[in-house]
Amino acid sequence: MSKFMNYAIQLAQMVDGQTGVNPPVGSVVVKDGRIVGIGAHLRKGDKHAEVQALDMAQSEAKGATIYVSLEPCTHHGSTPPCVDKIIEAGIQKVIYAVKDTTLISKGDDILKNAGIEVEFQYNAVAAQLYQDFFTAKRNGIPELTVKVSASLDGKQATDDGESKWITNKDVKKDVYQLRHSHDAVLTGRKTIEADDPLYTTRIADGKHPIRVILSKSGKLDFGQQLFHDNASPIWIYTENKNLTVDNSNVTIIYMEQCEIKSILKDLYQKGVGKLLVEAGPEITSEFLQSDHLDHLVLYFAPKIIGGSGKYQFFQTDQIISLPDTTQFEIVNSMLIHQNIKLVLRKK
């Protein structure tokens, strides 16, 4: 694999989580063995990676090779098709790492018809970066991750509701990074009441996610600190038609039925490409049973809480037989100062 392609993929990884419903893409323009332009798609509505790189390369793009982490786009959206810019710049060869299965027209054919050599160099790292994006785009639903911090016996709190803190401070720092890489974080009314959280990203130059609250009843205490923090917008999904609030940072979204799929589709339409769920057992269990779940991030503290299981992070009304249980594969595991982090992907 070319080092220039690796650079393009690294650029894409750097902007992952900040492009909304658009894919993170990196691009490198190379001429006579020298990099003459680099680019990354920074946010929805901005120039695409190829355009950024070609603008940097200027006249040196003529006769050059462009490396792209994802097949160049062919559609007119908020920006023109990248294939048009590539042709206009006089690029001699295009090399990309992943085919965009959501494209209506084939970029290869358009570029080849313009006399440009095209090479598809499959890269497993890049493919993993876009796997959930393709599914999200086809379904019109954000990439969905559920995060849980719990004891070894799966408790998010004691039977008395005590939850501060089960995991350690270093886990909290890791969670801030997790929030930074998502467009929005979703929680429920009961978690807001119990923990009075902010759901911000307390890291240098961190990106604060949109705070999404699911409260069917709308019985919220607007005196809590979250509603006095303007770090990012707050969206409340509710079935309460009479819920109002005198706060320009808070948007109330009424639904006849606050069903998970309807909320996910609405969030995607509003530009949320990656959603993180940080909630109590009730909402966590709902999302873990959802057909749209992509990843589960588990933080385990080396302690056993016991009790009745009132705050067990996964609960169901019915007994599920073993063949019907939700299956995961472990993507990554790490030790965070005696706490364990597991990143799992739903099979």
* Each residue's pLDDT expressed in tens, for the chain with a length of 347 residues: 689 999 999 999 999 999 999 999 999 999 999 999 999 999 988 999 999 999 999 999 999 999 999 999 887 777 788 999 999 999 999 999 999 988 776 888 899 999 999 999 999 999 999 999 999 999 999 999 999 999 999 999 999 989 888 999 999 999 999 999 999 999 999 999 999 999 999 888 889 999 999 999 999 999 999 999 999 999 999 999 999 999 999 999 999 999 999 999 999 999 999 999 999 999 999 999 999 999 999 999 999 999 998 999 999 989 999 999 999 999 999 999 999 999 999 99
Q: Residue 94 belongs to a domain with what CATH number?
A: 3.40.140.10
Give the pLDDT confidence score for residue 302 in this predicted structure.
97
Q: Do 211 and 183 sit in the same domain of this protein?
A: yes
Q: Do 146 and 163 sit in the same domain of this protein?
A: yes
Distance CA 163, CA 157 (A): 4
- Cβ atoms within 10 Å, residue 144: 26
- Cβ atoms within 10 Å, residue 225: 10
Active-site residue list: 50
Among 132, 149, 168, identify where a domain stops.
132
Structural domain containing residue 42 = 1-132
Q: In this structure, are residues 289 and 160 in contact, taking their beta carbons and an 8 Å threshold?
A: no
Q: Do 236 and 291 sit in the same domain of this protein?
A: yes
Q: Do 118 and 196 sit in the same domain of this protein?
A: no
Give the pLDDT confidence score for residue 64 in this predicted structure.
98
Q: Do 272 and 340 sit in the same domain of this protein?
A: yes
> Starting from the edge strand earliest in sequence, which strands make up the sheet with 184-188, in order?
250-254, 234-238, 210-214, 184-188, 274-277, 143-151, 295-301, 339-346, 328-336
Listed residue (336, 11, 6) closest to 178, CA to CA = 336
Q: Residue 187 belongs to a domain with what CATH number?
A: 3.40.430.10
Total number of domains constituting the chain: 2
Q: Do 119 and 152 sit in the same domain of this protein?
A: no
Q: Do 275 and 336 sit in the same domain of this protein?
A: yes
Give the pLDDT confidence score for residue 1 in this predicted structure.
65
Among 75, 108, 132, identify where a domain stops.
132
Q: Do 221 and 329 sit in the same domain of this protein?
A: yes
Q: Do 115 and 158 sit in the same domain of this protein?
A: no
pTM: 0.92
Q: Do 167 and 31 sit in the same domain of this protein?
A: no
Among 132, 165, 183, identify where a domain stops.
132
Q: Do 117 and 150 sit in the same domain of this protein?
A: no
Q: Do 290 and 226 sit in the same domain of this protein?
A: yes
